[in-house]
Chain A
């Protein structure tokens, strides 16, 4: 959503760009969304430690791999933002394609993971673990998918010739903020939901 209606009024109090501030607020709100989801998961996990053994289905190599890929996409995203600031469309496109590609790999891994888990008999309704796990990681996946879609839009937009180093750089930066945030959330989920299960004393 590119509402910039009022940016050009240039009022005296403008410290941080409107769109960026809006994104920061959204991310603040989103923290609470994920906070609620993750704590629901942890609460039920603590409440019913015996009800399900996630190690039956977890595949640490695969998930670590997809986590690494998502992390690397953040590096590319940062490069894309800086390219746009310099107005280098070519390198912007290259790096953005990279981010999109990484995002898609991550999503593919998640689809594979969900399918695999379901085959192993863990569904949304099997137990509370299934409910909280799928809803939490699914919400995260939807975030990634939205981000990928957004970046694809920006990628094609760069061919319309309407992109400039000022206004569009802000747009890309806002998309970047979102992307980094989604990454960070995944790191938290990866730690609090996957890795924690491998610590013997905690289970």
Chain B
């Protein structure tokens, strides 16, 4: 491709170009490929467009955020007063288990995935991800996993309504929702303690793991290989960098939980002894395997949030990110060290002096790169022309609130201190500060920042300020008192407590805070819907932003960029707007070839659907329901068939010819 014939264009005036579009060709199977112009539902089910996939991830994740939030409200209401009996102990256990699992795997991870999908190809100037059909497969596998995990709730609801009864062939189906905590410690997960819920949880998590792994590998390949010419690694936006780090974390951390879940499934279904104490199994092994995954997982959750913040702060302070390379490097260091600190979740299990000291030190060490980032963000703000728009307000909230969570994290890192805090409400306070004060606020900042790009409409009014006020106040009122509760000795995961320990007031305050926070989230949903319904056209670059995704139209066309941009510098769009002549974005000439677009496909959707019978079948087989083994095999066949047809149909593709009027 010749790079001599280039043209300069002014990004903010680019109109949505007209396109000639060729119909997709028939696949090698002889069928027509799904035609996206026929029906909207079919279009979304078969789409391979990273932007639509991202939006679906986001919508589903927001739904589960509300579900998880609802579960939390019931928990908090139960705890509002001592000896409250709103729900039974068993139901309480189910609720906190599903709350944790839902928030981590079905709300935060997919919210991050929504941003990965929508933004990464745009930020690196690519047409799509490297493997668009695998991307679609990841989305639908995630949906299948979510259904399997939540299936117990559905059955339980049917049971309450009298439509389902555990008797006859289904007599083994007790304990329909998982109730052993989000980290599923052995031996609680053994067949003699818990029932079908645990199986749904195991199978569901296993499927979600496959979804995450395939998505992560896809993103590594995309970021390494699909960058536009000139987009060197050290010119990439920080968000893309953090996506790369997180994807690598997923690739290397998820296998531990996959194998652990496999061993657990074998214990339950086929009588192995991995975690069965009577057979010589060691419950502590589960703890190690879980946290070898679990600690990297918390950074899988938070690094994208740090990426979002590193994008927003420079735009709203009109300054480049302070110490770009240090921010990138410390992100990578956090990811790397994240693999070496898992035992700080197990200080009280008696690891031995050397191990405890080592993990204690490493945990303290991980606070260093985290602190470095915080100083860099403050440095970015320093002397900048700060605009207090919603994304900025939430980002500033993030920096402060995340720091609070970091402080209690460092308190945990000291093993003797942690012995007092372990399994108390202090830990709950810690991770909710990093999760809500950190990740949630960052994600909301991201939503307010990129929603105009995603749907082409600008939110308006100052409801967003109220969202910020309610959620930040709510979060602090809920979780700050939990520090005291923990230090006063209130253990986590107890469904009620007696009067007279001095816990009553704090608990009541926490519950009130939870409702304030919930109201804030409700306002957020209202604001998003308002933006969809009557937002004004956003324009390509409403924030006077810096990175490449703002150079294309809002919402971007299917092909993202009419011509492949050539990137001369970091902060490409900013340089293009205000930089010297030699730093303007130029474009590759396609010599009339047009843009090669991947064809849509049913196969990833069908293959991923196969996971539902696999998951449900295996779980119910364990509960002794007849014929369920065949259901699982049927699911495997669907999965295999889907993949086989997927390979045979071939990638296909068609060409589009957007006509850009060169300005």
Is the beta-carbon distance between B272 and A4 smaller than 8 angstroms? no
Task: Name 19 extra pairs, CB < 8 A, besides A5-B596, A29-B217, A124-B266.
Answer: A3-B131, A3-B133, A3-B134, A4-B651, A6-B130, A6-B226, A8-B596, A16-B224, A18-B225, A22-B131, A30-B255, A33-B259, A35-B255, A36-B260, A36-B289, A40-B263, A43-B282, A131-B272, A132-B274
Is the beta-carbon distance between B646 and A1 smaller than 8 angstroms? yes
B234 interface residue, CB < 8 Å from A? no
Is the beta-carbon distance between B220 and A125 smaller than 8 angstroms? no
Is the beta-carbon distance between A12 and B228 smaller than 8 angstroms? yes
Least distance between A2 CB and chain B CB atoms (Å): 6
Is the beta-carbon distance between B651 and A29 smaller than 8 angstroms? no
How far apart sit A37 and B650, CA to CA, in the bound complex (Å)?
35
Is the beta-carbon distance between A128 and B273 smaller than 8 angstroms? yes
B103 interface residue, CB < 8 Å from A? no
Is the beta-carbon distance between B263 and A2 smaller than 8 angstroms? no
> Which residue of B228, B279, B598 is within 8 Å of A125 (Cβ)?
B279
> Which residue of B217, B252, B255, B272 is within 8 Å of A22 (Cβ)?
B217
Offer 14 A-B interface pairs, CB within 8 angstroms, sorted by A: A6-B126, A12-B227, A16-B225, A22-B217, A25-B220, A29-B213, A29-B252, A33-B255, A43-B282, A43-B285, A124-B270, A127-B280, A131-B272, A131-B279
Residues of B within 8 A of A135 (CB): 262-263, 266, 272
B22 interface residue, CB < 8 Å from A? no
Residues of chain A having any CB pair with chain B under 8 Å: 1-6, 8-16, 18, 21-22, 25-26, 28-30, 32-33, 35-37, 40, 43-44, 47-48, 51, 124-125, 127-128, 130-132, 134-135, 153
B1 interface residue, CB < 8 Å from A? yes
Is the beta-carbon distance between A5 and B262 smaller than 8 angstroms? no
Is the beta-carbon distance between A33 and B1 smaller than 8 angstroms? no
Residues of A within 8 A of B282 (CB): 43-44, 47
Interface string of B254-293 (1 = CB under 8 A from A): 1110111011001000111110000111100100010000
Least distance between A108 CB and chain B CB atoms (Å): 23
Least distance between A109 CB and chain B CB atoms (Å): 23
Is the beta-carbon distance between B230 and A12 smaller than 8 angstroms? yes
> Which residue of B131, B227, B258 is within 8 Å of A13 (Cβ)?
B227
Find the B residue at minimum CB distance from A14.
Answer: B225
Asked, given contacts A9-B127, A36-B256, whether A28 binds B266 with beta carbons under 8 Å apart, the answer is no
Residues of A within 8 A of B134 (CB): 1, 3
Is the beta-carbon distance between A29 and B281 smaller than 8 angstroms? no
How far apart sit A8 and B654, CA to CA, in the bound complex (Å)?
12
Least distance between A182 CB and chain B CB atoms (Å): 16
Asked, given contacts A36-B255, A51-B280, whether A13 binds B226 with beta carbons under 8 Å apart, the answer is yes
How far apart sit A80 and B220, CA to CA, in the bound complex (Å)?
29
- B interface residues, how many (CB within 8 angstroms): 55
> Which residue of A18, A32, A127, A128 is within 8 Å of B130 (Cβ)?
A18
Residues of A within 8 A of B1 (CB): 10
B251 interface residue, CB < 8 Å from A? yes
Is the beta-carbon distance between B252 and A36 smaller than 8 angstroms? no
Residues of B within 8 A of A12 (CB): 227-230
Residues of B within 8 A of A9 (CB): 127, 226, 564, 596
Least distance between A104 CB and chain B CB atoms (Å): 20
Least distance between B651 CB and chain A CB atoms (Å): 5
Find the A residue at minimum CB distance from B260.
Answer: A36
B528 interface residue, CB < 8 Å from A? no
Least distance between A100 CB and chain B CB atoms (Å): 18
Is the beta-carbon distance between A131 and B274 smaller than 8 angstroms? yes
Is the beta-carbon distance between A33 and B258 smaller than 8 angstroms? yes
Residues of B within 8 A of A153 (CB): 647
How far apart sit A1 and B601, CA to CA, in the bound complex (Å)?
13
How far apart sit A142 and B270, CA to CA, in the bound complex (Å)?
17
Is the beta-carbon distance between A37 and B130 smaller than 8 angstroms? no
How far apart sit A9 and B229, CA to CA, in the bound complex (Å)?
11
> Which residue of A2, A10, A25, A127 is within 8 Å of B273 (Cβ)?
A127
Residues of B within 8 A of A6 (CB): 126-128, 130, 132, 226, 596, 598
Is the beta-carbon distance between A25 and B217 smaller than 8 angstroms? yes
Residues of A within 8 A of B253 (CB): 32
Is the beta-carbon distance between B251 and A11 smaller than 8 angstroms? no
B231 interface residue, CB < 8 Å from A? yes
Find the B residue at minimum CB distance from A136.
Answer: B259
Residues of B within 8 A of A16 (CB): 224-225
Residues of B within 8 A of A13 (CB): 224-229, 231
How far apart sit A47 and B266, CA to CA, in the bound complex (Å)?
21
Least distance between A136 CB and chain B CB atoms (Å): 10
Residues of B within 8 A of A51 (CB): 280
> Which residue of A11, A18, A29 is within 8 Å of B227 (Cβ)?
A11
Is the beta-carbon distance between B252 and A11 smaller than 8 angstroms? no
Is the beta-carbon distance between B280 and A128 smaller than 8 angstroms? yes
- Which of B221, B258, B596 gathers the greatest number of chain A CB atoms within 10 Å? B221
Find the A residue at minimum CB distance from B598.
Answer: A5
Find the B residue at minimum CB distance from A153.
Answer: B647
Residues 483 to 530 of chain B near chain A (Cβ within 8 Å): none
B187 interface residue, CB < 8 Å from A? no
Least distance between A172 CB and chain B CB atoms (Å): 14
How far apart sit A51 and B279, CA to CA, in the bound complex (Å)?
11
Least distance between B596 CB and chain A CB atoms (Å): 6
